[in-house]
Amino acid sequence: MPSLGVLTPFPRRRFLILAVLCALLACSLFLPGLGGGFIVDDHPNIQDNGALHLSELSADKLLLAAYSFQPGNGSRALSMLSFALDYWRGGGLDPVVFKTTNLVIHALTIFALALFFRRLLSLAQWPARRAACVALVLTGLWAIHPLQVSSVLYVVQRMQTLGTLFLVLALWAYLGARHAQIAEQRSHAYWALTGFFWALAFAAKEDSILFPAYALVLELTVLQFRAAQPAMARALRRVWMAAALVGAMAYFFVVLPHYWSWGDYPGRTFSSSERLLTQGRVLVMYLGQILLPLPERLPFFYDDLEISRSFLNPVSTLLALVLIGGLLAWAWRWRKARPVFSCGVLLFFAGHFMTSNVIGLELVFEHRNHFPLIGAVLALGDLCVAAVLRWRIPQVWNIALAAMVFVALGAGTLVRAHDWGEPLHFAQRTLEMAPGSERAWVALGGTYADLAAFRPDSAYLESAIATVRQGAEQFDSALLRSNVVNYKSIQGTATSEDWERFHQCLERVPMTVQNRNVIWPMIQNAQIGISMDARGVLTAMSILSRRTTYSPSENLQLASYALNDTPFSEEALPYLIRAVEQSPAGDAGIEQMLSALSESGWDEWVEQLSRIPRAPAK
């Protein structure tokens, strides 16, 4: 008799102890990465976000911190609040403090996931002991997968990991409520917990709005709309059918028209159709990384990914879409025969529904697999259990194979966590794995520059200049060219030829988000006393303003630089005019600017700006 078929019970207390041990052992693999620094999106969202830098706890400051995520117009309040509390308790920007909190969140998610898996497998009518044992194994596989490193040790991705924690708890509570309905027991407490945890998940990251889709997957596969009374089962089917119809209508008549772009998205180099085609290949790439997570297959930066321009350009686009269609058809066909497998496949794709759809996001991020990986391990685990039961594989072989998989995954995570544990090593290793990534070159140059700490005679600064110069020769990159002049200006060696190459590059490159933002570090450098060539910066501002559109507040910043930090104050006027034209009457920022100009004696400009017709109020 196969060991997985044993019907003896598994004590709840022992299960909880093992779940805690699983969390502790898994998190120990990430400890070598705690010494790494802040990277990429950590800088604007945490390091440069003054609203998070609390010296004291007060209601007003906590509220300001919670709603300080500007890209999301104040969303992700719970995540932002947690960053502020980390800053306060750590007495500043200590990456170890922030990463330790991330690790605690990972541990809590591991524990919650074990409970969710056990309840799910029990509702799939697995024997109690098998459900408990497999739940712990699947939880461990999810917890130590190398893909988790860039979610747990990349500080800003707490937004994702915190969302996953509360989504798992919401799904666990949902299963509890449905189990109570099936057993004809009271379910009010579980329904209340479901709503509470979902609200917390949404406050962590807005893609948690997909919770109803995940719950529908559970109904279509494991739960199958069961209830104690036939009338209740019929009502459940009707409610979910109506909800699915409303969701489909919202997608086709609201989301799709709002986000669809026949041409390139603003700040991107791909259209909606090209994004959808490319996402087919991205999803297959994710599945490959899940099945074979070798460190060299996880480079962190993916900006060198080829965009799919048609079904056959590249040919792998069509092949990827056929594979995805085949997996979905397989899952649908097996939804009654192997409901756990079907549930896992559908959860994986549901988890990518928002980020692999028509919203003009970045094409690839590893952390997007944080929740979908739950579905992947469920599907793979169910296939393994089916194989063990069908072929009656001896218990010793099962244990040996599981141990080999755990050792391999753990070793991969340990190696990757070590790479993340020291900023310079991480940047060097990332470039080694992704030499075709512009961002990898930028990151290594920036790491050297951080180590130089604005010292003109630092050998690190020389390395920073050499790195970005070498990268700029490989790519037609405004970002790398801008850093050549930034770093050489710190050193005092920037030449007119450096600036000219930068300006020529600005005229050629597409106006992506990264390229339109190259001006801000230059202005910041000038304002902290670095000798930036004022004419060079102003020329860059002129090119960018001609090729892209800045917001009123951004135009005011450009005007402030020209007026206050250069000898060419008259060049501030065009940016002031644009800011006024874009702003509605009575805008506080514009009124404050006009008052400041008047106090400084620019009455003629104030009169001219006051006559400009304003944009209609939104």
Query: Treating both helix axes as pointing N-terminal to C-terminal, what angle do 552-564 and 573-582 enclose, rounded to 10 degrees?
Result: 160
Q: In whole angstroms, what is the distance from residue 134 CA to residue 129 CA?
A: 8
Give Dmax over CA atoms of the chain in angstroms: 93
Alpha helices in 434-477 (DSSP H): 438-452, 459-474
For the stretch 517-526, pLDDT in tens is 999 999 999 9
Token duo for residue 302: 């993916």
Coil, helix or strand at residue 313: strand
DSSP string, 513-527: HHHHTTHHHHHHHHH
| Residue at 598: amino acid letter | S
What class, spelled out in words, does domain 423-584 have in CATH? mainly alpha
CB atoms within 10 A of CB 63: 13
CA 227 to chain centre: 38
Dihedral, 244, 203, 94, 446 alpha carbons, nearest 10: 50
Cα–Cα distance, 131 to 124 (Å, whole number)? 9
Low-confidence ranges of the chain (pLDDT < 50): 1-7
Interatomic CA distance for residues 285 and 287, integer angstroms: 5
**Which residue reads 């309840």 in tokens?**
119
Element (H, E) at 491: helix 478-491
Q: Which of 595, 602, 617, 527 minimizes the C-alpha distance to 566?
A: 527
Are the CB atoms for 85 and 6 separated by under 8 Å? no
The Cα 390–Cα 89 span in angstroms is 54
Long-range contacts of residues 579-582, Cβ cutoff 8 Å, at least 24 apart: 579/552, 579/553, 579/555, 580/552, 580/609, 580/612, 580/614, 581/612, 581/613, 581/614, 581/615, 582/551, 582/552, 582/555, 582/615
CA dist., res. 171 & res. 137, Å (int): 19
Task: Say if residues 30 and 143 touch (Cβ distance below 8 Å).
Answer: no
Residue ranges per structural domain of the chain: 9-38+93-228+260-419, 423-584
Residue 533 near residue 499, CB atoms below 8 Å: yes
CB neighbour burial string for 430-466, b if at least 16 within 10 angstroms, e if fewer: bbebbeebbbbbbbbbbbbbbbbeeeeebebbbbbbe
The residue type of 608 is Q
For residue 265, how many C-alpha atoms fall within 13 Å in the half-sphere facing its CB?
Answer: 20
Please answer whether residues 141 and 19 qualify as being in contact, where contact means their C-beta atoms are separated by less than 8 angstroms: no
Give tens-digit pLDDT for 197-219: 999 999 999 999 999 999 999 99
Predicted pLDDT at 3: 40
SS3 state of residue 310: strand
Query: Nearest CA to 438 among 301, 249, 287, 299?
Result: 301
**CB neighbours of residue 504 within 10 Å:** 14
Q: What's the CA gap between 30 and 27, in Å, rounded?
A: 5
Q: In whole angstroms, what is the distance from residue 99 CA to residue 84 CA? A: 13
